[in-house]
Amino acid sequence: MPARFQAVAWDIDGTLVDSEPLHHRALVSASLEFGTDLRNLPDMAFRGIHMGDVWQLLRDRLPPSLAEEVWAHAINRHYVAGRRTLRPLPGAVETIRALHRQGVPQVCVSNSCRLVVDANLDALDVAACMTFSISLDDVTEGKPSPLPYAGAAERLGLAPETVVAVEDSATGIRSARAAGLHALFLRTSDNGGVWAGEPKPDGMLEALTDLLAFFPQKVPFS
């Protein structure tokens, strides 16, 4: 472990913001526009599943003439419209702002599209704390490919091993580890707080505020 890390690469959905309920509502509302009632689906039916895979799973229930791009755009529109209902995970905003005051570069690396990434950062009011963000629209392959995190380290101009990635899913951990970042798994009620995947993360976080221990010049919250 480097004596001092130089930057943080954040996952967003499920790590910084409790977005799954809004993702589900947006999916249901958008599908209703096209005559498909998904209100009987469990709220977490598609947690962690790429939108393209959700499309394939639901394709037979949607109108044959409906294009995937039109459907996805409708979902994103409903998500953005509901962004004010989003709530940060405990310690998310405080930790980001504390690191920002310290001058630690921070980026967001997400498997969501640009519209959703920007909506999430707007809802959290932390966009100004980020050096940049990488969305699914910015890469040729999303997580678990290493490309998103490798691209983040390259744009930061830092060696991957000096960047800490914070993730709540096996998909994200695989991506960060493959890119050479120091990957931390955040235990949450949604992921059960138990790691059972491979490769294993480099460490665990019980709370987002625990990340400050990796940056010894941390400053107090204000």
129 in the same domain as 175? yes
Residue 97 belongs to some domain of the structure: yes
115 phi, psi to nearest 5 deg? -60, -45
- Is a pLDDT exceeding 80 seen at residue 114? yes
Residue 219 belongs to some domain of the structure: no
Residue 119 belongs to some domain of the structure: yes
The SS3 assignment for 157 reads coil
CATH code of 198's domain: 3.40.50.1000
Last residue of a domain, one of 51, 84, 117: 84
Q: Quick: pLDDT tens for 67-106.
A: 999 999 999 999 999 999 999 999 999 999 999 999 999 9
115 in the same domain as 13? yes
Contact 190, 173 (CB under 8 A): no
Q: How far apart are CA 204 and CA 133, in angstroms?
A: 23
97 in the same domain as 49? no
The number of distinct structural domains making up the chain is 2
Q: What is the pLDDT of residue 194?
A: 63
Q: Dihedral of the CA atoms 191, 192, 194, 195 (nearest 10)?
A: -20
Q: How far apart are CA 88 and CA 79, in angstroms?
A: 16
Q: Among candidates 131, 116, 91, which has minimal Cα distance to 8? A: 131
Contact 184, 201 (CB under 8 A): yes
Rounded to two decimals, what is the model's pTM? Answer: 0.89
Residue 114 belongs to some domain of the structure: yes
User: Which domain covers residue 43, as residue numbers?
Assistant: 20-84
Q: What is the mean pLDDT of residues 53-72?
A: 94
